[in-house]
Amino acid sequence: MSDQSKQPQHDPASPDEDHPVLKLRQFMPYRLNHLAETVSRSFSKIYADKYGIGIPEWRVLATLGEHGSMAARDIGRETSMHKTKVSRAVSALAEKGFLERNRSSGDQREHPLQLSKKGLALYEDIVPKALSYSKGLLDALTADQKAMLEDILDRLALAADPTSMD
């Protein structure tokens, strides 16, 4: 008889104080992530087929459109994307002619990035669609719910930020 068979097996269908069960679909981090992924995939249909870019490329494009010139590491911080994902997105956008790498007078490892004319045209084409998409989501809410959502998102961001606890 193995050691495992001697131990009482916990039945997840009957949780108790000693063996709580996490229901993933009710777990707040999962729900937030699932919603974010669903919204991102839905919005990506606006630009993916027409321009051949994915979600990471869109986030880099949008960040450069908002801020102008930035280093890849700063884009990573701004978008909360891993440096590898940013690097791949930057390479894909550069290959398609949507962004340019500038020479930096300082650190030769970091090249400021900016949208090319083609990238700026793409950005200007997508932004009104992005704003309309966002408005469509928010139109599902009342004015009070919109204000409450903003407050809830701010509070959750603060609660999840370990640096805010200092």
Domains of the chain, residue spans: 26-161
Specify the 3-state DSSP secondary structure of 100.
Answer: strand
| Residue with more model confidence, 44 or 109 | 44
Decide if domain 26-161 falls under CATH 1.10.10.10. Answer: yes
Question: Please, what sign has the CA dihedral across residues 87, 89, 90, 91?
Answer: positive
Q: How confident is the model at residue 142 (pLDDT cuts 50, 70, 90)?
A: very high
And the tokens for 81?
Answer: 């994307």
Q: How far apart are CA 102 and CA 128, in angstroms?
A: 28
**According to the per-residue pLDDT averaged within each range, which of 19-23, 48-52, 58-62, 99-103 is highest?**
58-62
Residue 108 phi/psi, 5° resolution?
A: -75, -10
And the tokens for 76?
Answer: 């990573």
pLDDT digits 0-9 by tens, 46-98: 999 999 999 999 999 999 999 999 999 999 999 999 999 999 999 999 999 99
Averaged pLDDT of the chain: 89
Q: Which amino acid is at 121?
A: A
Nearest to 57 by CA among 40, 33, 39: 40
pLDDT at 19 over 90: no
